[in-house]
Amino acid sequence: MFRKNMELELLIEDIGVNGEGIGKAEGAAFFVKDTVIGDRVLVKIMKMKKHYGYARLLKVLSPSPYRAEPMCSCYRQCGGCQLQVLDYMQQLQYKEKKVRNNLERIGGFRIEETENDRQGILFHPIIGMEEPFFYRNKAQFPVGTNKDGRIITGFYAARSHHIISNRKCFLGVGVNEQILTIVISFMEQYRIFPYDEESGKGLVRHVLIRYGFATQEIMVCLVINGCGLPQSEKLVEELQKLPGMASIMLNVNQKNTNVILGERMINLWGRDYITDYIGNIQYQISPLSFYQVNPVQTKKLYETALDYACLTGNEIVWDLYCGIGTISLFLAQKAKHVFGVEIIASAIEDARNNANINGIENVEFFVGKAEEILPQWYEREKLRADVIVVDPPRKGCDMKCLETIVKMQPERVVYVSCDSATLARDLKYLCGQGYQIREVQPVDMFPQTTHVETCVLLGRK
């Protein structure tokens, strides 16, 4: 009988949905973080249920041929890169299998193995990256103190607000480390204290950095628990020396909350935005803008969505959950007219502005919930749609939204998803209402993590 704190040897035979290794002993399955398929390991049981348990890795007795040496020394403590210890080609196989399994088990779909049988679903191999590190154009670093009272910045340990001190994240751009060093030196020199969550005292909460991969423009935004930053001109003077520095901002957040950014912005120097491109579309990005964090893979994902939309210049397209208009503006290049819907008002402001700076006139944006705006326009205006594109949050599409899509009967639906489980659930509903899946394309937007994006084309039966 297994019990808590017992040690045992396991052979890791599979990987769970959150990237943890799975080994079996006497009919019980054990989930072990930081292990990969093929590892023989010594573990300690931390929690035991009837038929499964959770265990902590004590020692790798015999490493798997798929095990990789993590680049980051904080890998195990941080928990942000759940798969960094797994060879990248195996990461891609894991993510492809994850999407496939969810479609089969949750959606009940039959996935074809080859492209020869076009009667079934065509499942394309996942699109990976040539360089699966240093791909993030955005980073948010909490600021605090260590046990010796020294100012540190880094990332929260998994499921906690304990900061793991680290200025060099191997997912972010190299200039992040230089910026954090400048900020910490400035705080130390002028005795500016980091925010303390327990007492509510201290000034600097987070350092937000955004970087334009195409333009090489840099934004630095300090999130502060106050209305100003003492000696801010000294910080500006140092940050200005970095090539590409375009925007230095403050964000005021005086609430006792886990939400990182407040609503009020203060411009210290430069513009209040940076610019970047995805393909030939230019975007202005503010500290509050939602913008995909991996521009290299975003271009591939949106090109897939545009290809699946199969536009000839005569189509009316609705883009639901449109954000700052990233997909909408891609679609507008080949559509007759595009309507974008997004609940966040500031995102719609950005979307309209991005349309203006690109000279795109055949696009309109609405503020509101997709599940409310779409039915209103359909029922009141009887507005048709040839193609509907959805890119919902992790929870998937609202049922009212799905019902209206079915009523509007577009020829094609393009579903972009960041969670293949809710994707499979929504596809099951749509395919029960007269649609069928034609193609599936997974895209590795977040290497070293368990997350995977998927683009799906549905057509009417």
pLDDT band for position 447 (cuts 50, 70, 90) = very high
* Residue that terminates a domain, selected from 51, 67, 83: 67
Give the domain range for residue 239. Answer: 138-278
Segment 60-71, tens digit of pLDDT: 999 999 999 999
| Pair (142, 121) in one structural domain | no
Distance CA 201, CA 315 (A): 55
112: pLDDT confidence band, cut at 50, 70 and 90?
low
Q: Does residue 57 have a pLDDT over 90?
A: yes
Q: Are residues 320 and 405 in the same domain?
A: yes
Distance, CA of 304 to CA of 460 (rounded, Å): 19
Residue 306 half-sphere exposure toward CB, CA atoms < 13 A: 18
Q: Which of 53-62, 309-318, 375-384, 419-428 has the lowest mean pLDDT?
A: 375-384
Instruction: For residue 289, tell me if it sits in a domain.
Output: no
Residues 270 and 326 in one domain: no
pLDDT at 113 over 70: no
Same domain, 368 and 402: yes
- Percent of the chain past pLDDT 90, that is, above it, reads 80
How many distinct structural domains can be found in the chain?
3
DSSP-assigned letters across all residues of 417-433: ES-HHHHHHHHHHHHTT
165 with 107, same domain: the answer is no
Instruction: Tell me the per-residue pLDDT of 237-264, one tens digit each, with 9 for 90 and over.
Output: 999 999 999 999 999 999 988 889 998 9
> Do 299 and 371 belong together in one domain?
yes
Please report, for the domain that includes residue 178, its CATH number: 2.40.50.1070
Active-site residue 401, yes or no?
A: no
Tell me the C-alpha distance between 171 and 446, whole Å. 9
Residues 6+ apart with CB under 8 A from 452: 95, 98, 99, 126, 420, 442, 443, 444, 445, 446
Which string of b and e fits 370-381 if b means at least 16 CB within 10 Å?
A: bbbbbbebbeee
Res 377: pLDDT: 78
Residue 87 lies in a domain: no
Average pLDDT, rounded, for the chain: 93
Could you give the CA distance from residue 97 to residue 431 in angstroms, rounded to a whole number?
A: 21
Residues 444, 309 share a domain: yes
Task: Give me the catalytic one of 227, 310, 418, 431.
Answer: 418
For residue 108, being part of any structural domain is answered with: yes
pLDDT tens for each residue of 68-108: 999 998 888 887 888 999 999 999 999 999 999 999 999 99
Same domain, 167 and 114: no
Beta bridge partners of residue 413, listed in sequence order: 388, 458
Confidence (pTM): 0.91
Is it the case that residue 214 has pLDDT exceeding 80? yes
Would you say the C-alpha torsion 138, 144, 145, 150 has a positive or negative sign?
A: positive
Q: What is the CATH number of the domain that holds 340?
A: 3.40.50.150
CA distance 117 to 108: 18
Domain assignment of residue 80, yes or no: no
Report yes or no: 339 and 317 within 8 Å, Cβ to Cβ. yes
Domain-located, residue 286: no
Q: Please check whether residues 332 and 442 belong to one and the same domain.
A: yes
- The end-to-end CA distance of the chain, in Å, is 53
Write the Ramachandran bin of 113: left for phi over 0, alpha for psi from -120 to 50, otherwise beta: alpha
Q: According to the model, what pLDDT value does residue 458 have?
A: 97
